[in-house]
Amino acid sequence: MSPEVIIQDLSKSFGSNKVLHDVNLTVKAGSALAVIGGSGSGKSVLLKSIIGLIPPDKGSKVMLDDKDYTFTPITQRSEFLDKFGMLFQGGALFDSLTIWENICFSLMHRSKIDKREAHAYAVEQLALVGLKPEVANLYPSELSGGMQKRAALARAIATKPSLIFFDEPTAGLDPIMAAVISTLIASLSKKLGATTITITHDMKCVDIVADNIAMIHGGTIVWQGDKSMLANTNNELVDNFVNGRIPTAAI
């Protein structure tokens, strides 16, 4: 069963700089939420606060699968991490390991799976993301940006997680590769029946991967709703962002 994610009054400040103000979000089990917003709006801080890489401020609440993880650092979330996968913006593949070692990293360290078995499993995962078996023995530096993203996606889904986070999955990719990655994310997430949160500012990606959308602006959620409601919203911030209009004040 996929977990539900509930975030209540999540705030985060760095010194006097308040990056997140009372963010409230609910992601239902098995649904796909996309958090959109401009650069510096607090998207990445929100993601890192949810997964425990950054501790949120007092008064915040992060519930994952009915358990309060608000102030539990990521290194102490072993049980939660067993069913969690994440695709990082730059892929974050380990340079010193081959692609198959990257994909089976978690499996090899957690269970006593032997090398041959792990290699075969990695090749299966690579096939799911459209990469050939030969790629398994290469190092990340030998792959193109798009192939690295696919390999990172294969690593994110290798443990068959029920909760997956995608941080800017299409950043730095050409439009065709961006569409390929977005389609892969949507199909693989559906296949796993996972709850997903995607952080992005690419509206084409949002259209493919998300059921629900939340827009963050200045550290606050300014709009949240079903994807179909996006076209008819009266919210000026959302309208400007979705249609790429420059706000009057900025001119």
Q: Footprint of another protein on this chain (CB under 8 A)?
A: 48, 51, 53, 74-75, 78, 81-82, 84-86, 88-90, 92-95, 105-106, 109-110, 155
20 or 87, CB closer to another protein? 87
Q: How far apart are CA 20 and CA 220, in angstroms?
A: 6
Q: How far apart are CA 162 and CA 83, in angstroms?
A: 5
Minimum distance from residue 165 beta carbon to another protein (Å): 8
Minimum distance from residue 223 beta carbon to another protein (Å): 28
Longest Cα–Cα distance in the chain: 61
Minimum distance from residue 15 beta carbon to another protein (Å): 14
92 or 237, CB closer to another protein? 92
Minimum distance from residue 53 beta carbon to another protein (Å): 6
Q: Which residues contact 194 (CB under 8 A, 6 or more apart)?
A: 2, 30, 85, 161, 162, 163, 164
Helical segments of 65-193, H only: 78-81, 99-103, 105-110, 115-128, 145-157, 175-192
Q: Which residues contact 46 (CB under 8 A, 6 or more apart)?
A: 10, 20, 23, 35, 199, 216
16 or 75, CB closer to another protein? 75
81 or 205, CB closer to another protein? 81
- Structural contact between residues 227 and 207, judged by C-beta atoms closer than 8 angstroms: yes
Minimum distance from residue 148 beta carbon to another protein (Å): 11
138 or 237, CB closer to another protein? 138
Tell me whether residue 92 is exposed, middle or buried, using C-beta atoms within 10 angstroms of its C-beta: 0 to 12, 13 to 18, 19 or more: middle
171 or 203, CB closer to another protein? 171
Q: Tell which residue, 89, 90, 97, 96, has the closest CA to residue 118.
A: 97
Q: Tell which residue, 229, 155, 165, has the closest CA to residue 197.
A: 165
Minimum distance from residue 193 beta carbon to another protein (Å): 20
Minimum distance from residue 107 beta carbon to another protein (Å): 10
47 or 186, CB closer to another protein? 47
**3 state DSSP class of 248:** helix
